Each structure stands twice: as structure tokens, then as C-alpha cells.
Amino acid sequence: MPLRPRGRDAPRRGARLPDSARRVIFRIVPTIAKVLAATDFSEDSSLAFSYAEDIARKFGAEIIVLHVDQPLAPVMVSPDLGPAMDVGAMSRIAEEQRLIAQRELDKIVQRLRDDGLKAKSLLKVGSPFLEILHATQTENADLVVLGTHGRTGLAHVLMGSVAERVVQKSAVPVLTIRHPDRKFKHPLDK
């Protein structure tokens, strides 16, 4: 039988916590006023976005929808290989990709606003994990939500994991969502 404190050390029935202890308890409960939802418009991102939307609704938070467009890699072409790709054509392709992405972001934000949520979009160009971290700071986000593709093995080594890097470097909590159809496969499994 465990020993119970007696005398003045014994807890009193109906005793209240001191004010300092009550303040600490309230500080532990997170306040989420802004949710940053990163998307690449994939099925994985859509699933993660539904979580971000639910959280924003439950907390009455603003949702910031972020898409990061990676710049096209410069292509080295030798005159021996035939006609070179026009740099202007590459710029037009990149600009068209950004216009398409902005239209998608606008549709998403409009739907959120129609549903009564405060929402805005951001379109950035650069390294996805760096731009997500930068937007988290500049927008004062309280939570980052993103999908993970669940790559393992060589694909993970070659492509890296944006979600993994964001989790490692973010100053705020990060919620990663893996699509239920993407089963974990250990890299050593055959």
C-alpha cells in the first residue's frame, strides 16, 4: 500500500492551485491563430490540406496556402547535340507554370473564404523547404501542415524529403500527413 502524505503536506479536498501554477497550465495549451498549409497540388498535399482546414476551422484560425515553385534547372547544351533550347522558351514555360499554380491557389482560397474561413495564398519560387520555413517566420504561423510522399531508399536519397527537413528546422510545430495508400517500406526490405 503506497504511503500518503499526512499533516500539512497532505492535499486538501477542494484545494486550488496557486496562481503561478494555473498560469503555467494555460501557457501549455497551444493557441493556433495561423496555419500554414504547404501544397504541391498532389493527392498527398490534398489530404494534408484537409487536416489544415479542419484545424483552422476548430481554432478559428487563418489559413495560409503556400505553393513553392522550384526554378527550372539550367540546361547545358552543346552545339554538337543539335538545336539548343531557347532560354526565352524556358522562361515562358516557368512563367506559365507559375500562372497555373496561382490560379489553383486562387480557387482554393476562394473556396475557403466561401466556407467562412479567413484565407490567403502565397506563391514563392525557390527551394521548397527553405521557402516553407521563411513563410512560417514572415507570416507568424503557429502550425505548419504538409503532406509527405513517403519516399524511401534511393528515391529519398536523390530527391530528399521536404517534410523531413521542415520538421527538423521549423521553429513551430509541424504536422505531416502520409496518404494511407502509401505504405512504409523499410529500405532494407526486398
Render each residue's pLDDT in the chain as its tens digit; 190 residues.
555 555 555 555 555 666 665 555 555 667 899 999 999 998 888 999 999 999 999 999 999 999 999 876 665 555 555 555 566 777 888 889 999 999 999 999 999 999 999 999 999 999 999 999 999 999 999 999 998 875 544 444 444 588 889 999 999 999 999 877 766 565 566 6
CATH of the domain at 95: 3.40.50.620
Let me know if residue 52 belongs to a domain: yes
Host domain of residue 43: 30-72+84-178
User: For the chain, what's the residue count?
Assistant: 190
In a domain, 21, yes or no: no
Confirm whether 152 is domain-assigned.
yes
Three-class DSSP category at 169: helix
Q: Is residue 94 a part of any domain in this protein?
A: yes
HSE (CB half, 13 Å, CA atoms) of 30? Answer: 15
Sheet of strand 143-148: strand arrangement: 119-125, 62-69, 34-38, 143-148, 174-178
Give the pairing of strands 143-148 and 119-125. Answer: unpaired
Beta strands in 89-185 (DSSP E): 119-125, 143-148, 174-178
Which regions of 12-152 does DSSP assign to beta strands (E)? 34-38, 62-69, 119-125, 143-148
**pTM recorded for the entire structure:** 0.73
Number of domains in the chain: 1
Q: How many CB atoms lie within 10 A of CB 59?
A: 16
State the DSSP H helix or E strand holding residue 19, giving kind and residue range, or none if neither: helix 19-28
**β 62-69/34-38 pair status:** parallel
Would residue 3 count as lying in a domain?
Answer: no
Residue 1 lies in a domain: no
79 located within any domain: no
The answer to whether residue 137 is domain-embedded is yes
